[in-house]
Chain A
Amino acid sequence: MKYADEFRDKAIAQGIARAIGAEVSSQRAYRFMEFCGGHTHAISRYGLEDLLPANVRMIHGPGCPVCVLPASRIDMAIRLVDRPEVTLCVYGDLMRAPGSQGQSLLRAKALGADIRMIYSTLDAIRLAEQAPSREVVFFAIGFETTTPPTAVMIRIAEKKRLKGLSVFCNHVLTPSAMHSILENPKIRDTGGVPIDGFIGPAHVSTIIGTQPYEPLAEQFGKPIVIAGFEPLDVMQAILMLVRQVNEDRYQVENQYSRAVTREGNRRAKDEVSQIFELREQFEWRGLGLVPNSGMKLKPAYAQFDAEARFAIHDLRVADNPACECCAILRGAKRPVECKLFGTVCTPETPIGSCMVSSEGACAAYWTYGRVRDEQLRRTS
């Protein structure tokens, strides 16, 4: 595969692994959080932790949009599809995300709700055109990467005067979540382990650039390396973080220079800023209410806002008290240290956020890495 195999070269990876091994100090631990589920997936799928020295530990962050979507938003969507006139369009892996009572969109669909799995916002537009008498609602979810396509969808709907199309907006922001991880009182109270640096999400930065992370690096004294999702990208980012830690630097560096600039994609950012504005706060599964971390439609676009259009009220539902997602998301605990892991909480029956999508920390451990964790548990 052109443009993929080049970044999966075993010999180069082993070369980087040797460099990491040579440069780490045996006197200290290096704890790096890969914020994004795409990195978690790459680390697990390629078994990258086997290539790292024992004192370099990867902490799986909250960067999976399905995982961090709170149960309340699933409940709200399920209430929405109770309306017979509504057709709800969702991206695939959202279908299994559990609501507060363990229900899901997959189950709602089986019970007769009109829910369509789509692959792009253009599919929602097509559906709205084909069924003008239906209320077609797009369940918008994702970080800064997937927000521009939602903005473009609204722009097209406006131009085509599609009166039956609206958006249930759940777009969230990466830097706010990173800030929350480092500062959130709930997190401090549960004793998060120190994080020595972050691998920042590549796709997000293709839109927003590297600049939005600079205040974070400065304020908290944490190096951040924006990295691609191929295994060599991740390995190189780890080496760059090790070097910053060794040199007591805390800068934002760009490993993914083949696609990311400091400024990002101005046109995409403009589209988003014209249609969306910040919510004062948005609930994250596992993290609670995070200030300025979510997007909503501007009042000028209220006709496309499903929450306004159908008067959907914000719900608050508590996470399962036994669920350790909040601690796991910050590396305070490993998935196997949660009582629910692999017992009542499995990929088939996810309870906590980390098990919801294949990119979640617990799901990645369950799917790819539980051998390694069992060994760690036996030796610890």
Chain B
Amino acid sequence: MSVKGYQRKLDLENGRVDLSHGSGGRAMAQLISGLFHQAFGNEWLARCNDQSAFDVAAGRMVMTTDGYVVSPLFFPGGNIGSLAVHGTINDVAMSGARPLYLSASFIIEEGFPFSDLKAIADSMGAAARSAGVYIIAGDTKVVERGKADGLFISTTGIGIVADGLDLSADKAMVGDRVLVSGSLGDHGVAVMSKRQNVAFQTEVVSDSAALHKLVAVMVAAGGSGIRVMRDPTRGGLAATLNEIAHQSELGFRLQEASIPVKPAVAATCELLGLDPIHVANEGKLVAIVAPDFADAVLAAMKAHPLGSDAADIGEAVADNRKFVQMATSFGGRRIVDWLWGEQLPRIC
């Protein structure tokens, strides 16, 4: 649809989204063209079709989809837009794939400021360009005030995984090493620091990042010795390892002292009664690696900027109860369980 004839320009500084921007009419076309296409700009979007056709190389395709409802929308180290791009790239990358294309669907609450929408779209565009990934399809809906918390974004990602690589959470084996790419809990603490009623000062910024380049060097170093990769987002490391334990039908034994956690994150969790291994990450991965390959993969991770604090934190063990256990830094041991329900601060 041509939008040249539409006269009302978007007031990107002071304007706000209204219901007409989701109506399918010229206002919506103006929003898409004047804001999203500007931010994401690429040859596929420029064709303005309802879909984008693209060529694929040899290998198997990987596809994932995710919804982003973070509150607040802006937090130290990123915003919902960059998070949506990084999160979906990472979900593709955890298969060992090279992510290629994304789609993005926006559900916007009536009254949402254009300036915020532009900042979010711009950061999505920048995150995608920096990752070498293209946002080639999208959708925009506007809902009445009160029916969404500002903005929700859904993204779908597509990538290609090389022949011979088949990572899956049911492939962990007894004796495998558990590697993490860096300090845990940074994203969750950064977001919490800006939440209404909890707001506190911290130097911690979100670790939100696209991990596919780190994955590529790991795959180069470890190849099929890498059995599983997961990004420990909601539920943190604890949820991720419990999922893998159940899918692979084994247990894990971790060393608490080896698990990297920044002092500021540890202090915040202490204050709020949370455990860093339950707190969300957006730029970290967990890899379950065959023991013979673990040192090489860990060295490759440490040589990459996104894995400089990588650590070997434990091993997979035979356990038909599928428990994740941890030797505490204090000399005792305990279970590392899934978080139950939402993370709620303790009373005292």
Chain A residues in the interface with B (C-beta under 8 A): 1, 4, 8, 10, 13-14, 17, 38, 44-51, 65-66, 91-96, 106, 117-119, 123, 141-143, 145-146, 203, 231, 346-348, 357-359, 366-372, 374
Q: Does B333 contact A (CB under 8 A)?
A: yes
Within B329-348, which residues are at the interface with A (CB < 8 Å)? 329-335, 337, 340-341, 344-348
What is the bound-complex CA distance between A367 and B325, given in angstroms?
A: 10
| Residue among A14, A92, A368 making CB contact with B345, cutoff 8 Å | A92
Known: A4-B270, A47-B332, A117-B344. A371 touches B323 (CB 8 A): yes
Known: A92-B344, A96-B344, A146-B347. A10 touches B331 (CB 8 A): yes
Assess whether A48 is in contact with B330, with CB atoms less than 8 Å apart: yes
For chain B, what secondary structure do more than half of its interface residues adopt (helix, strand, loop), or is it mixed? loop
Using A10-B329, A13-B331, A369-B335 as known contacts, say yes or no to A93 and B198 having CB atoms under 8 A apart.
no
Closest to A346 in B: B340
Set A231, A371, A372: member contacting B330, Cβ < 8 A:
A231
Instruction: Output the residue of B267, B270, B346 with the most chain A CB within 10 A.
Output: B346
CA distance A1 to B275 in the complex (A): 15
Residues of the A chain whose Cβ atoms lie less than 8 Å from the Cβ of B341: 96, 106, 347-348
Asked if residues A119 and B337 are in contact (CB atoms below 8 Å), the reply is no
- Output the least CB separation between B97 and chain A (Å): 34
Q: A residues within 8 A CB of B247? A: none
* A145→B347 CA distance, assembly (Å): 10
Given A96-B341, A106-B341, A348-B340, A13 contacting B346 (CB threshold 8 A): no
The 21 listed contacts between A and B (C-beta, < 8 Å) are: A8-B329, A8-B330, A13-B331, A14-B331, A44-B334, A45-B328, A47-B328, A51-B332, A65-B348, A93-B344, A94-B347, A95-B344, A96-B344, A117-B197, A119-B345, A145-B348, A203-B348, A346-B340, A348-B340, A358-B273, A369-B334
A1 to B340, Cβ gap below 8 A? Answer: no
Give the contacts of B226-285 with A (CB-CB under 8 A). 263, 266-267, 270, 273, 275
Are B348 and A146 touching (Cβ within 8 A)?
Answer: yes
CB-CB under 8 A from B332, the residues of chain A are 46-51
- Give the number of A-B contacts (CB < 8 Å): 100
The docked-state distance in angstroms from the alpha carbon of A372 to that of B321 is 13
B325 and A1 form a contact (CB under 8 A): no
A367 touches B331 (CB 8 A): no
Q: Given A65-B348, A93-B344, verify A119-B330 contact (CB < 8 Å).
A: no
Complex Cα distance, B323 from A371, in Å, reads 8
Least CB distance, B137 to chain A, in whole angstroms? 34
B328 — which chain A residues lie within 8 A by C-beta? 45-47
CB-defined contacts of A366 to chain B, threshold 8 Å: 337
Known: A45-B334, A50-B333, A93-B347; 4 extra A-B contacts, CB below 8 A, are A45-B275, A66-B347, A93-B346, A371-B321
Measured between beta carbons, the chain B residues less than 8 angstroms from A93 are: 344-347
**Interchain nearest-CB distance for A369 vs B (Å):** 6
Secondary structure type dominating chain A contacts: helix
Does the CB pair A10–B330 fall under 8 Å?
Answer: yes
Asked if A347 and B330 sit within 8 Å, CB to CB, the answer is no
Assembled-state Cα–Cα distance A145/B328 (Å): 29
Contact A367 B335 (CB under 8 A): yes
Cα–Cα distance between A366 and B329 once the two chains are bound (Å): 20
- Report A-chain residues with C-beta under 8 Å of the C-beta of B263: 1
Is the Cβ of B331 less than 8 Å from the Cβ of A1? no
Cβ of B197 and Cβ of A368 under 8 Å apart? no
Chain B residues contacting A370 (CB-CB under 8 Å) are 335
Cα-based distance from A117 to B341 in the complex (angstroms): 15
Which chain B positions have C-beta within 8 A of A367?
Answer: 335, 337
Q: Determine how close the nearest CB of chain B comes to the CB of A175; give it in whole angstroms.
A: 17
Which of B323, B327, B335 has the most chain A CB atoms inside 10 A of its CB? B335
Give Cα A47 to B332, complex, Å.
4
Q: How far is the CB of A130 from chain B (nearest CB, A)?
A: 12
**A160-B346 Cα distance, complex, nearest whole Å:** 29
Known contacts A92-B346, A370-B335, A46 near B330 by CB under 8 Å: yes
* Residues A368 and B335 in contact, CB atoms below 8 Å apart: yes
Closest residue of chain A to B333 (Cβ to Cβ) is: A47
Chain B residue numbers with a CB within 8 Å of A357 are 346-347
- Cβ < 8 Å to A, chain B residues 91-109: none
- Nearest residue (CB) in A for B326 is A47
Cβ contact of B325, chosen from A46, A145, A371, cutoff 8 A: A371
Kindly provide the distance from the CB of A13 to the nearest chain B CB, expressed in whole angstroms: 6
For A95, the chain B residues whose CB sits under 8 A away are 344
Residues of A within 8 A of B321 (CB): 371, 374
In angstroms, Cα B265 to Cα A49, docked, is: 27
0/1 interface trace, chain B 190-223, chain A, CB 8 Å (1 if under): 0000000110000000000000000000000000
Once the chains are docked, how many angstroms separate the CA of A347 from the CA of B325? Answer: 18
Min CB–CB distance B323 → chain A (angstroms): 6
Question: In the complex the two chains form, what is the Cα distance from A23 to B197 in whole Å?
Answer: 49
Rank and list the top 9 A-B pairs by shortest CB-CB distance, nearest first. A47-B332, A92-B344, A347-B340, A368-B334, A50-B332, A46-B330, A92-B345, A47-B328, A47-B333
Of chain A, the residue at the smallest CB distance from B198 is A119
Are A91 and B334 in contact (CB-based, < 8 A)?
A: no
Nearest B residue (CB) for A9: B330
Query: Which partner residue on chain A sits nearest B199 by CB separation?
Result: A119
Residues of A within 8 A of B327 (CB): 47
Complex Cα–Cα for A123 and B195 (A): 13
Q: How far is the CB of B169 from chain A (nearest CB, A)?
A: 22
In the complex, what residues of A have CB within 8 A of residue B344's CB? Answer: 92-93, 95-96, 117
Complex CA distance for A10 and B198, rounded to whole angstroms: 32
Chain B minimum-CB-distance residue to A93: B344
Residue ID in chain B nearest A43 by CB atoms = B332
- Which residue of chain A lies nearest to B195 when distances are taken between CB atoms in the complex? A119
Tell whether, in the assembled complex, residue A123 and residue B346 are in contact, meaning their CB atoms are under 8 Å apart: no
State in angstroms the CA–CA spacing of A281 and B242 once bound together.
44
Residues of A within 8 A of B348 (CB): 38, 65, 142-143, 145-146, 203
